Amino acid sequence: MKHLYYFSFGGLLLTALAACHKEPAKVTTNPFDETVSAIVAQIQTPKLSDRQWVFQDEADDNGWHLQKLQAVIDSCAAQGGGTVSVKAGLYRLNGTLWLRSRVNLHLEADAVLQFSGRGDDFLPVVPTRWEGTDLMGRSAMIYANNAEDIAITGQGTIDAQGSLEMAAWGMVPGENDFTENIHGTHGETVEMDDVRRLREIGTPSDTAVFVPLADRVFGKGTFLRPCAIEFYNCRRILVEGITLKDSPFWCIHPLYSQHITVRDVTIRSHNPNNDGCDPESSSEVLIERCTFQTGDDAIAIKSGRDLDGRRVGRASHNIVIRNCLFQSECNGLCIGSEMSGGVHHVYVDSVRIGQVKNGLLFKSNKDRGGYIRNVWVRNIELQEAQGAVLRFENNYFGYRGGQSPAQYEDFRIAQVHARKAQAYAIYFDGLEELPMRDIKVRDFEVDSATHAYYLFHVDDYRFENCRVNGDTLPERPALSEVRQMCDVW
């Protein structure tokens, strides 16, 4: 009977998803699989016409292909949609490629969309979010707004060429070696003045006036890096088969979107903040059979930052991640830190993780508010973590007063094996005023770790069949009385 606590979530969740099945939830011996199947079954894929358009070797007088490719996409959409097939070849694009409803942009093998890499080519500004705060900023290289039934498929490559200019905006001048806490959005980078202005807009002082979206303009003369691919307020999205490289910022960013499938995608991008895929305030998401070779987190699930994220209040939920390879330079799976709108019902299954800073990381701080709950993870193989294999962090880089702690509750972690943790196998850093709660870990093993565990302000936790350095952990290890730091991000 002592194993039943791990599977007790099944009945509750299946009841919540019964509307998807149109029948009562059934008792099953494997509720994880059945719940995942129910979520995947309700994820809608694009509805596309069988009509075909072909694009090949059509450049303008200056050697750019953007206007003519965009014209084909627009024509396809105007005629009811279908597939625009880009034949093998190098296609140079000096600006944003807009996806339209009911269009599949299909890149055949050896087709390369190569963007200019110049920041001002991605103006005028469009609605977007930047690290969780709404603004009018540069568009992604490939951008869709309020579209439905859209796809990017094929065996071709998208080369964002972010390292030509824009990646340097996230670098400290004169510091050429990549270090996450120097570069990105933590150090005194080129973009930091704009970052600070945006943070003030997102969490204004008590005397400041709310700034509407139309007035949050970060255009020419500013330095906030755009994503490579962004879907803004879109529905029924498919990204399949492609290779994406050299993004200036986050790689694939579904934002305020629903019914998203990212499948068999390879990302090779090693600039600052190069998260592989960041579903934000989005739901019904399937990410499977992908390879993430990234300069930052492989996958980071988000839902807005601080007051601005709580104002919108749109959670990310019903997310399935399975059968992926994470070869990231930062963390493997991450939820947060921008999670102020809440994150719930996330399922992760069968993921291999290489050498990372932290393997499974759930992070927020006392500015965020919001919650992370109902998260289930199983079948994880990890090579090495510099910080922790399993990390719950509620004290991550807070700057805005610390009056809004985040709630962590209802986690089920099972069947995790890691070879090495340089610092901690398990690190739970909670808050006295709002402890983490209901965390169950089962069949967890780390071959070698400097520290087996650190537990601080955690309620209702349990470890079953967990081993570190060959020793079995107690079912309820003692809590730490003193906070311990793990400064590995």
**Given this model, what pLDDT does residue 11 score?**
40
**Given this model, what pLDDT does residue 400 score?**
78
**Given this model, what pLDDT does residue 401 score?**
78
Least confident interval from 17-26, 301-310, 364-373, 415-424: 17-26
Range 165-175 average pLDDT: 91
Above pLDDT 70, what percent of the chain? Answer: 92
Confidence of residue 2 (pLDDT cuts 50, 70, 90): very low
**Given this model, what pLDDT does residue 57 score?**
87
List C-alpha distances in Å: 442 to 118, 446, 457.
49, 12, 20
Confidence of residue 28 (pLDDT cuts 50, 70, 90): very low
Q: Which of 340, 130, 313, 308 is nearest to 210 (CA)?
A: 308
Tokens of 130: 């930047």
pLDDT of 4 over the 60 cut: no
Q: Domain spans of the chain? A: 4-30, 96-101+119-356
Q: What is the 3-state secondary structure (H, E, C) of the chain?
A: CCCHHHHCHHHHHHHHCHHHHCCCCCCCCCHHHHHHHHHHHHCCCCCCCCCEEEECCCCCCCCCCHHHHHHHHHHHHHCCCEEEEECCEEEEECCCEECCCCEEEEECCCEEEEECCCHHHHCCCEEEEECCEEEEECCCCEEEECCEEEEEEECCEEECCHHHCHHHHHCCCCCCCCCCCCCCCCCCCCCHHHHHHHHHHHCCCCCCCCCCHHHCECCCCCCCCCCCEEEECCEEEEEECCEEECCCCCCEEEECCEEEEEECCEEEECCCCCCCECCECCEEEEEECCEEEECCCCEEEECECHHHHHHHCCCEEEEEEEEEEECCCCEEEEECCCECCCEEEEEEEEEEEEEECEEEEEECCCCCCCEEEEEEEEEEEEEEECCEEEEEECCCCCCCCCCCCCEEEEEEEEEEEEEEEEEEEEEEECCCCCCEEEEEEEEEEEEEEEEEEEEECEEEEEEEEEEECCEECCCCCCCCCCCCCCCCC
pLDDT: is 248 or 15 the higher one? 248
Contact 317, 339 (CB under 8 A): no
Above pLDDT 90, what percent of the chain? Answer: 87
List C-alpha distances in Å: 74 to 40, 103, 340.
31, 9, 37
**Given this model, what pLDDT does residue 29 score?**
58
- Relative to beta strand 133-137, strand 126-130 is antiparallel
pLDDT of 399 over the 80 cut: no
Confidence of residue 178 (pLDDT cuts 50, 70, 90): low
State the fold for domain 96-101+119-356.
Pectate Lyase C-like (2.160.20)
Calpha distance 399→412 (Å, rounded):
31
**Given this model, what pLDDT does residue 177 score?**
66
Quote the mean pLDDT of the chain.
Answer: 93
Least confident interval from 17-21, 167-171, 204-208, 259-263: 17-21
List C-alpha distances in Å: 315 to 130, 289, 305.
16, 25, 12
Range 140-167 average pLDDT: 98
Calpha distance 389→340 (Å, rounded):
24
Q: How many CB atoms lie within 10 A of CB 71?
A: 12
Buried residues in 420-444 as b, exposed as e (16+ CB within 10 A): bbebbbbbbbbbeebbbbbbbbbbb
pLDDT digits (tens, 9 = 90+) for 45-87: 999 999 999 999 889 999 999 999 999 999 999 999 999 999 9
Q: Which long-range contacts (CB under 8 A, 24 or more apart) does 185-189 make?
A: 185/131, 185/272, 185/273, 186/397, 186/489, 189/272
**Given this model, what pLDDT does residue 10 score?**
41
pTM of the predicted model as reported, rounded to 2 decimal places: 0.93
pLDDT of 17 over the 50 cut: no
pLDDT digits (tens, 9 = 90+) for 435-462: 999 999 999 999 999 999 999 999 999 9
pLDDT: is 138 or 31 the higher one? 138
Range 109-118 average pLDDT: 98
